[in-house]
C-alpha cells in the first residue's frame, strides 16, 4: 500500500488509474480504524479494481474542541490494518493541505440537518459536506463506502452527491458491533471497561424500543427508553427519535413503514450515537 500525503499526488495517481480503465472504491475515515471501517475496505476491495482509504481527522466537522483534540489517532496501526485487508492507497493529508485557506462556502441540507445530529451539533454537517466534497474531487471514486452507524451522514452525503452531480455511487454497510452490542466507534477507545459496559446499554435501549414498534405509540416508546436509561446514571441520554431512514424526519406511526430508531448519549467523556432500522416484516 502506498501512503499519499498530498492532494495533488493522489489526484494524479487517480487520473492515471481512471485513464487505464480501473474502477476506484473509496472509504473516507477519520482513522483509529476498527472492524466497522475494515468491512468497508473489504467490500471496496471486492467490488473495485483499486481501493483507496482516507484518514483525516477533519477539524471542520467538530463542534467541540476537546473532542477534536482528544480524538484517537493511530496512523501506524491504521497502516498495518489497511495493508492486511488489501487497501492499495491510503490518503492521509494534513489539515493545511486540505484547507490551505479559509472558505466562506456554506452547505445547507434543509430539514435533514434540523433534526438529531444536525440540531445537536451545529456546523457538523457543513464540515462533513465540505470534506467529503473535497475528498470526492481529489479521489474521484466510482463507489464511496459509508456505514449505517452514521445514518444521518449517509443521508446528507446522498443529498450532496445528487445536488452537486458527483458521478459516483454511495454504498452503505450495516453497523458492526462489539459482543456486548456496543456499536464500534473510534471514540470507544476513550472509554474505560465500566464505561464500555454502560455504553452497551444504548443498544439494549434500541432493542427494547424495537420490540415496542407496532405495539405502543411513539410517545410511549420514547418514555420507555428514557425510563430504561434513567436506570443507568453514568449515561446521559441526549435524544431518542423514531425517524424515516431516508429523510430522518420523525415518523408519527412507526408500525406503518420501515423506521430508524436513532439514539445519542454521553458516557463519561464521550458522546456516542447508534441506530437500528426496523423493517415492517420484523414487526410483531
Q: Which is nearer to ligand AMP, 188 or 218 (CB)?
A: 188
Q: Is 199 in the site for ligand AMP (CB under 6 A)?
A: no
Q: If DSSP states are collapsed to H, E and C, what string results for the chain?
A: CEEECCHHHHHHHHHHHHHCCCCEEEEEECCCCCHHHHHHHHHHHHHCCEEEEEECCCHHHCCCHHHHHHCCCCHHHHHHHHHHCCCCEEECCCHHHHCCCCCCCCCCCHHHHCCHHHHHCCCHHHHHHHHHHHHHHHHCCCEEEEEHHHHHHHHHHHHHHHHCCCCCEEEEECCCECCCCCECCHHHHHCCHHHHHHHCHHHHHHHHHHHHECCECHHHHHHHHHHHHHCCCCEEEEEEEEECCCCCCECCCCCCCCEEEEEEEEECCEEEEEEEEECHHHCC
**Rounded least distance, CB 31 to ligand AMP, Å:** 6
Q: Is 175 in the site for ligand AMP (CB under 6 A)?
A: yes
* Active-site choice (37, 88, 124, 198): 37
Q: Is 176 in the site for ligand AMP (CB under 6 A)?
A: yes
Sheet of 24-29, strand order: 2-4, 89-91, 50-55, 24-29, 143-147, 169-173
Which residues within the stretch 17-46 sit at the binding site for ligand AMP (CB under 6 A)?
A: 29-30, 36-37, 40
Q: Which of 51, 140, 186, 275 binds ligand AMP (CB under 6 A)?
A: 186
Q: Which is nearer to ligand AMP, 124 or 198 (CB)?
A: 124
Q: Is 92 in the site for ligand AMP (CB under 6 A)?
A: no
Where b means 16+ CB within 10 Å and e means fewer, 230-241 reads eebeebebeebb
x/- mask, ligand AMP, residues 118-157, rule CB under 6 A, reads ----------------------------xx-xx-------
Q: Is 184 in the site for ligand AMP (CB under 6 A)?
A: yes
Listed ranges 44-52, 65-73, 173-181, 213-221: which one lies at the site for ligand AMP (CB under 6 A): 173-181
198 is catalytic: no
Total residues at the site for ligand AMP (CB under 6 A)?
A: 16
Q: Which residue's Cβ has the minimum distance to ligand AMP?
A: 147
Q: Which is nearer to ligand AMP, 128 or 221 (CB)?
A: 128
Q: Is 201 in the site for ligand AMP (CB under 6 A)?
A: no
CA 77, CA 90: separation in Å to the nearest integer?
13
Q: How many Å from the N-terminal Cα to the C-terminal Cα in the chain?
A: 48
**Rounded least distance, CB 58 to ligand AMP, Å:** 8
Listed ranges 70-78, 115-123, 175-183, 238-246: which one lies at the site for ligand AMP (CB under 6 A): 175-183
Q: Which is nearer to ligand AMP, 29 or 140 (CB)?
A: 29
**Rounded least distance, CB 69 to ligand AMP, Å:** 16
Residues that bind ligand AMP (CB under 6 A): 29-30, 36-37, 40, 146-147, 149-150, 173, 175-176, 183-186
Q: Give the active site residues.
A: 37
Amino acid at each position: 500500500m502506498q501512503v499519499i500525503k498530498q492532494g495533488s499526488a493522489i489526484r494524479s495517481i487517480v487520473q492515471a488509474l481512471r485513464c487505464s480503465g480501473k474502477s476506484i472504491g473509496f472509504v473516507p475515515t477519520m482513522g483509529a480504524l476498527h472492524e466497522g471501517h475494515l468491512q468497508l475496505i473489504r467490500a471496496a476491495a471486492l467490488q473495485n479494481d483499486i481501493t483507496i482509504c482516507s484518514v483525516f481527522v477533519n477539524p471542520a466537522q467538530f463542534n467541540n474542541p476537546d473532542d477534536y483534540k482528544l480524538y484517537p489517532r493511530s496512523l501506524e496501526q491504521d497502516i498495518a490494518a489497511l495493508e492486511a485487508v488489501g487497501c492499495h492507497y491510503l490518503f492521509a493529508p494534513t489539515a493545511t493541505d486540505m484547507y490551505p485557506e479559509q472558505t466562506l462556502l456554506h452547505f445547507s441540507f434543509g430539514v435533514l440537518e434540523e433534526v438529531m445530529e444536525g440540531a445537536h451539533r451545529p456546523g457538523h454537517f457543513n464540515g462533513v459536506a465540505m470534506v467529503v466534497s473535497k475528498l470526492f474531487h481529489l479521489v474521484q471514486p466510482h463507489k464511496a463506502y459509508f456505514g449505517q452507524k452514521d445514518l444521518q451522514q449517509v443521508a446528507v452525503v446522498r443529498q450532496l452527491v445528487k445536488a452537486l452531480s458527483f458521478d459516483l455511487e454511495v454504498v452503505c454497510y450495516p453497523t458492526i458491533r462489539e459482543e456486548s452490542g456496543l456499536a464500534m466507534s473510534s471514540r470507544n477507545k476513550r472509554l474505560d471497561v465500566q464505561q464500555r459496559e454502560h455504553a452497551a446499554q444504548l443498544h439494549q435501549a434500541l432493542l427494547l424500543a424495537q420490540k415496542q414498534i407496532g405495539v405502543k405509540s411513539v410517545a410511549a416508546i420514547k418514555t420507555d427508553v428514557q425510563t430504561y436509561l434513567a436506570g443507568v446514571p453514568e449515561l446521559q441520554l441526549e435524544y431518542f427519535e423514531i425517524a424515516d431512514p431516508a429523510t430522518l424526519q420523525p415518523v408519527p406511526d412507526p408500525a406503518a413503514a420501515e423506521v430508524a430508531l436513532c439514539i445519542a448519549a454521553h458516557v463519561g467523556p464521550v458522546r456516542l450515537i447508534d441506530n437500528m432500522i426496523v423493517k415492517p416484516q420484523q414487526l410483531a
